[in-house]
Amino acid sequence: MKRTIFFQGIPGAFSHIAAIGYFGRNYTFTGLATFHDIFKEVENGRMVYGVIPVENSLAGSVVENYDLLYSHNVSVTGEYYQPIRHNLLVKKTSQKGESITLDDIHKVYSHPKALEQCVQFFRKYPHISPQAYNDTAEAARYISSAYESNIAAIASREAAELYGLEIIKEAIQDNPNNWTRFLIISSSHRDQDILAHDTMYKCSFMFTLPHKPGSLHSIIGLFANAHLNLSKIESRPIHGTTFEYVFSIDVEFHSHDYLLVRELIHSCEELTNEIKVLGYYRKAHIPRE
């Protein structure tokens, strides 16, 4: 039986593309309505994985997924950077059987974030008006089934293929450095991590601190003194309290430092109110334009 990989959205969504990018095609990919649904499936399932977005280079962290990582019994087992390319998709032919040009289009459907990221396109073609839709892939599916042919969607190349659409303009986003970082999660009932030899890893962990000067400095000092690099650090007030903060840190390390990192995180315990290791996983690279 094939293992199942869960993602949020419908086929052709960037989460689906990232899941295929990480795992390859030899799995069953299942789209769910919400991130919370993914965590429930992964927490209770065996041999299943979830792929969740945690950060976009233009839009920042997906706070909701950090909250879910903190509160659910799952482990992070990998990361993946997905470049985000927005393409303009239309039907292959109009009702009359003719091919559709930019001049024909008067409405473009997509997620408001995607529309916002293509401002220059809409400035250049003022006869085209942006129309909000729940999701990029859903917008593609919608125009493929609509009666009109003078409408377009902004979505991925994969959505164009899946819904039988044609790309009439590629990569119309303003900023080419647009990527989303995904984490791969699995049920945390797993064996001890076994790390590949001579490879760069990351450990992600979250903790809460009293609102007190110096406590963060002590924690960062543990890693600085060991010459370990922090590739992410973020603080956020905890919902409903102004006196406590939740921190999220990624530390990079070479596999031969694995036991050292475990020890350092163990030492953090007495400096924090509560600490949770999300997982140890192989470091991926940010795509470069």
The answer to whether 242 is a known catalytic residue is no
| Choice among 77, 136, 180, 272 that is catalytic | 180
Q: Is 232 an interacting residue with respect to a copy of itself (CB under 8 A)? A: yes
DSSP state of 13: S
Question: What does the alpha-carbon distance between residue 205 and residue 23 come to, in Å, rounded to a whole number?
Answer: 24
| Choice among 39, 182, 223, 247 that is catalytic | 182
Stretch that binds a copy of itself, among 89-97, 193-201, 228-236, 259-267 (CB under 8 A): 228-236
Q: Please work out the total of residues on this chain that contact a copy of itself, with binding judged by CB under 8 A.
A: 51
Looking at residues 41 to 60 of the shown chain, list those that interact with a copy of itself (rule: CB under 8 A): 56-60
Q: Residue type for 246, please?
A: V
Q: Is 260 an interacting residue with respect to a copy of itself (CB under 8 A)? A: no
| R_g of the chain, CA atoms, integer Å | 22
Looking at residues 66 to 125 of the shown chain, list those that interact with a copy of itself (rule: CB under 8 A): 111-112, 115, 119
Taking CB under 8 A as the rule, which mask of x and - marks residues 127-166 in contact with a copy of itself? Answer: ---x-xxx--------------------------------
Residue 186 and residue 131 in contact, taking contact as beta carbons nearer than 8 Å: no
Q: Considering the complex, state which of residue 46 and residue 239 has its C-beta at the smaller distance from a copy of itself.
A: 239
Tokens of 222: 């543990």
Element (H, E) at 184: strand 179-187
Least separation in angstroms between residue 157's CB and a copy of itself is 22
Q: What are phi and psi of 16, to 5 degrees?
A: -65, -45
The strand pair at 274-282 and 87-91 is best described as unpaired
Tokens of 249: 């840190």
Q: What is the dihedral of CA 123, 127, 133, 136, to 10 degrees?
A: -60
Q: Which residues bind to a copy of itself, rule: CB under 8 A?
A: 34, 56-64, 111-112, 115, 119, 130, 132-134, 175, 177, 211-214, 216-218, 220-221, 223-224, 227-237, 239-242, 245, 285-286, 288-289
Active-site positions read 180, 182
